[in-house]
Structure 1
Amino acid sequence: MEQRISLVTLGVHELAASTAFFEGLGWRRSMRQTEGIAFFQCGCMALALWPWTRLAEDAGVSPERSGAGGWALAYNARTREEVDAVLARAAVLGAAITKPAADVFWGGYSGYFRDLDGHLWEVAWNPGFALDASGALTLPD
């Protein structure tokens, strides 16, 4: 696993209000055509706003705030095989797999684990999110 974080997903109560808040701060939304989630390019990382109940469902954890925590860190892998390898390595190191890797509704492949402190991590391969040689994620316009 390369030493980087690709995407921070914040679970939000009201997507439209949260999106308007960040836009009000001067942040430029990327991928505006995408419905049900908002993305913002943040240097070499990206921020996603997603309804927290959907985040919990996707991660296979309780929708209670104590279960999903309202956020997840994401590591974007270069291949589907890397997703499997990272999840396997995390499990060996003591992580709890909350959702085994599988094809997902947005066209990629992902799974989730909780690290030793309970932080939720998604490991994903997304054919629509390009990674450069350094691993930096660049969102399409």
Structure 2
Amino acid sequence: MEQRISLITLGTRDMAAQGAFYESLGWARVDSPDGVIAFDLIGQTLGLYPLEALAKDIGVAVSDLGHGASTLGYNVREKHDVGALLDRAAASGGRILKPAEDVFWGGHSGYFADPEGHIWEVSWNPFSPLGSDGTFQWNGAE
């Protein structure tokens, strides 16, 4: 197995609202005939998929999908970009869970939840600057 994640799928109750939320963050949307809303990222894709269909696909009840303790991370180029993105998320219908602040390891971060509760960390990491094409590499290796 190669070391990568190709697709991150979020089970979604309200596809129209969730799609509009991510579009309002500035992401370009791609719709597919099977009802998936996709946002191509650098090297991966974020997919929104109807929650009921996801449960059916897996072969479990919606209640069995659980609520995993996970976050989606988005790194920015500059420290001040953290607060600006959190403000944009809030203006788009997201909920700020933790405002932008300096953190113990030397970076700057904050958290928001999208309208259905998926949690995002927005972070500036001076030890892992983004590559010229926006790629993230732990400890800045490009």
Q: TM-score normalized by structure 1?
A: 0.51
2:92 is matched with 93
Matches within 5 A, 1:1-141: 66=67, 69-140=68-139
Report the number of matched residues. Answer: 81
> Would the alpha carbon gap of residues 2 and 107 (structure 1) be closer, same or farther in structure 2, given more than 3 Å must change?
farther
What is the letter of the counterpart of residue 80 of structure 2?
A: E
Distance in 2 separating the partners of 1:136 and 1:44 = 8
Larger gyration radius, structure 1 or structure 2: 2
Higher RCO by CA contacts (8 Å cutoff, separation 6 or greater): 1
Could you tell me how far 1:123 is from its partner in structure 2? 0.4
1:90-112 Cα shifts (integer Å, max 9, x gaps): 00001010000000011100000
Of Structure 1 and Structure 2, which has the larger fraction of its residues in strand?
1
- 1:71 is paired with a residue whose SS is coil
- The CA RMSD over aligned residues, in Å, is 2.3
- 2:81 is paired with a residue whose SS is helix
Q: Which runs of 4+ in 1 moved over 4 A?
A: none
What is the letter of the counterpart of residue 95 of structure 2?
A: A
Distance in 2 separating the partners of 1:105 and 1:136 = 24
Identity %, equivalent residues: 46
Gapped runs of 5+ residues in structure 2?
1-24, 28-41, 45-65
Distance in 2 separating the partners of 1:76 and 1:44 = 14
